Amino acid sequence: MKVRPLRTGGLPLTWRVAVLAGLAIAVLTVVAIVAAYFVVRSSLYADLRNALRQDASAVATLYREGGQGSARTRVTGPTGGVVVQVYDPSGMLLVASKPEFEKAQAAIPPSDVASARSGSLLWSGRLAGKRMEAALAPFDVGEVAVLADPSYIGLALAGLSRALLFTGLALVLLSAVVGYLVAAAALRPIARLSRLAAALGPERLEPIPYEGPGDEVGRLTLSLNGLLHRLQEAMDAQRAFLAETSHELRTPLTSLQGFLERAKRHGDERARRDLEDALRVSGTMNRLVEDLLQLSRGELVPEDVSTHLVDPAEDVLQPVAEEFPGVRLRCAAGGLVLGDPERLRQLVRNLVANAVRASGGGEGVEVSLRLDDSHVVLAVADDGPGIPQEVLPHIFEKFYKGAGGGAGLGLAIAEQIARHHGGSIDVASEPGRTCFTILLPAVELGDESEA
């Protein structure tokens, strides 16, 4: 299954959680502010109407009982600015405690006044160009109305709205900070788990330590450790299989090479050429078995290479080119390196074999050598279809198989051999030309005696 690359440019998970938490808190804050506004508004109007109802009942009782006193001393409106009106049984305004409320445009409609004959009544509307709240109560010869201007409630609500708005903005800003801190604290175990998992590799499949509770992070850690355990078992089984298979194949291959060598000595010229080809194939199989054996021990190439003074042209390139008919060889004069000739031949052989396979024959492959300051530069080029750009970053990875097939070991082995000799290997590819370049430290002529 092809692994899709991660998208780039998005917000980190901590910030996404912080933004979501901040939005949630902001929405709840707005809902709470709106609810608080309407609750306070409703409460203020309810208090006003309840006070007006009590005042109207007190004034009606005063008129009904005919006791001494003034209506002004009996009313207890929230602002003290109430108005008392008296209506006759037909609902016509008789008198008011303020002159401007004795006018016709300041009178409550007669039909509404008449509705109060059966009991106290709450009323709201516009009188004398103002919005007024009123309570009406009946007495023996008419109805009494106590009115109040509710504009003070609007002023109080405006102040409350400003206070709630500033409080809401402060809470929204605070929620962003708190949301980030909460998100960072909540995701810290996951970040730690990601960091520890990223440090693992094929050669290091240790269980991830975890001492926290058995929550989602604990279960995720347990699942990852189970996966690591299964991977370790699979790799151990793979190494055991490779070791056993390599040991089983080495003996018959060694015997086969011996038989081929003996047949070559006793055969005629035509058979000798065929036997030489068979010996090359047998040698390649022997080297593959050795590579598998090294792989079973956890390494592709041994660290302790046997170093000699090597002439890359005569000791490495020419023998390899002779193994592949049609391969062109172009070498500049001079140049010595310190290294293991057998391993260096293995490096070049792996590259040439891939080039021959890619170009469909040795005629499209060229092996060259040149000197570049303090380095010997070996190059293997072919005229094949090229390596796809998305494959290039992975071709030196173990077991990575490109379109050409193979076991996925040849280029990985070549890269390790170059590195163990203090050098490097690089590749450039386009349709019609692919070139692998190997840089090896050159030995100065004055260093030859020291070598």
Residue-wise pLDDT tens digits, 216-249: 888 888 898 899 889 888 878 877 777 777 777 7
pLDDT of res. 67: 55
What whole-number percentage of the chain has pLDDT above 70?
86
Same domain flag for 438 and 367: yes
CATH of the domain at 257: 1.10.287.130
- Number of domain units in the chain: 2
Q: Is residue 76 part of a domain?
A: no
* Burial of 179 (C-beta count, 10 Å sphere; 0-12/13-18/19+): buried
Residue in this structure with the two tokens 């690359």, named with its chain if needed: 5
Does the model's pTM come out above 0.85?
Answer: no
Question: How far is the CA of 142 from the CAs of 51, 60, 67, 114, 198, in angstroms?
Answer: 21, 9, 17, 9, 90
Q: Is residue 201 part of a domain?
A: no
Of 296, 322, 353, which one is at a domain's C-terminal end?
Answer: 296
Residue 342 has pLDDT above 90, yes or no: no
Residue-wise pLDDT tens digits, 63-88: 877 655 444 444 554 545 788 999 99
CATH of the domain at 331: 3.30.565.10
Same domain flag for 349 and 440: yes
Residue 8 has pLDDT above 70, yes or no: no
Same domain flag for 224 and 290: yes
Q: Is residue 436 part of a domain?
A: yes
pLDDT of res. 133: 92
Q: Is residue 1 part of a domain?
A: no
Q: Is residue 231 part of a domain?
A: yes
Same domain flag for 245 and 361: no
pLDDT of res. 449: 43
Q: How many C-beta atoms surround the C-beta of residue 355 within 10 A?
A: 24
Residue-wise pLDDT tens digits, 369-415: 988 878 899 999 999 888 888 888 888 887 666 655 555 677 888 88
Same domain flag for 325 and 426: yes
* Burial of 442 (C-beta count, 10 Å sphere; 0-12/13-18/19+): buried
Same domain flag for 220 and 329: no
> Domain of 360?
308-447
Residue-wise pLDDT tens digits, 288-309: 777 666 666 655 555 556 678 8
With a CB cutoff of 8 Å and minimum separation 6, the contacts of 135 are 49, 52, 53, 55, 56, 120, 121, 122, 123, 145, 146
pLDDT of res. 446: 56
Query: Which band of pLDDT confidence, cut at 50, 70 and 90, is reported for residue 4?
Result: low
Question: How far is the CA of 279 from the CAs of 84, 255, 261, 406, in angstroms?
Answer: 126, 12, 8, 21
Residue-wise pLDDT tens digits, 173-212: 887 888 888 888 888 888 888 888 888 877 778 888 888 7
Same domain flag for 348 and 235: no
Same domain flag for 319 and 260: no
Element (H, E) at 438: strand 433-441
Residue-wise pLDDT tens digits, 411-436: 888 888 898 888 999 999 999 899 99
Residue 448 has pLDDT above 50, yes or no: no
Q: Is residue 239 part of a domain?
A: yes
Query: Which band of pLDDT confidence, cut at 50, 70 and 90, is reported for residue 119?
Result: confident
Query: Which band of pLDDT confidence, cut at 50, 70 and 90, is reported for residue 17?
Result: confident
Q: Is residue 39 part of a domain?
A: no
Most confident of 185-189, 261-265, 310-314: 310-314
> What is the maximal distance between C-alpha atoms in the chain?
152
- Cβ atoms of residues 50 and 132 within 8 Å: no
pLDDT of res. 245: 77
Tokens, residue 32? 């709470």
Q: What's the average model confidence in pLDDT over 427-448?
A: 83
Query: Which band of pLDDT confidence, cut at 50, 70 and 90, is reported for residue 138?
Result: very high
- Cβ atoms of residues 402 and 387 within 8 Å: yes
Q: What is the mean pLDDT of the chain?
A: 82
Same domain flag for 360 and 417: yes
Beta bridge partners of 121: 136
Q: Is residue 64 part of a domain?
A: no
Of 273, 296, 319, which one is at a domain's C-terminal end?
Answer: 296
Distance between CA 199 and CA 143 in Å, rounded?
89
Tokens, residue 366? 């060229």
